[in-house]
Amino acid sequence: MNTTWGSAAPTLARRELLRVAGRLVRSDAPGCRSFPFRVPPGVARLGLVLHWEPWAKEWEEAAALRDALADNARRVGRPVEASDYPGLHRPKNFLSLAVYDPLGYRGTRHRLEGRQVVELDSEAATPGYEVRPLVPGRWRVAVAVRSMVSRGCCFELAVWGER
């Protein structure tokens, strides 16, 4: 299969190196799941995508409480401000993605979104990751569970290489 890496990149051969899906639960936090994969010689670019759902907890009880507080604020004649109730936010499941090559730690990215994309090559890297040549051999990606506010979440991790 041929594809491109971004809009300005030439067409390159892409090969999937790892695809794994699973479920994480509250007892996984704090913790880490590690997944090894091999980078063959000649790979010029690596891409990693981690996606998880749900990325935030829906709090029906918080919505009901927010409505009650809003009714109370209307009665006293003052608008409700979000800053009045700092505990009424949407807590998030927080995962991070660390990458290790045969030489050691390559970097980590911390994002509070439900999807992380990492791109690595010898001349550029996603912020949080080191720029250096892609060494063939055994690599490892670690999914760290920083916070799990829902009962659990499903995740999918994909890694590919391009020549």
Whether cis (ω within 30° of 0) applies to the bond prior to 91 is no
Q: What is the pLDDT of residue 9?
A: 47
User: What is the β-pairing status of strands 115-121 and 31-39?
Assistant: unpaired
Q: What is the pLDDT of residue 113?
A: 77
pLDDT by 10-residue block (mean), the chain, 163 residues: 40 87 90 96 96 67 58 63 54 86 94 86 96 97 87 92 94
Query: Which residues have a Cβ under 8 Å from the Cβ of 100 and sit 6 or more positions away?
Result: 106, 139, 140, 141, 142
Question: What are the boundaries of each domain within the chain?
Answer: 2-57+92-162, 59-89
> Can you give the pTM of this predicted structure?
0.71
The domain over range 2-57+92-162 is classified in CATH as 3.50.50.60: no
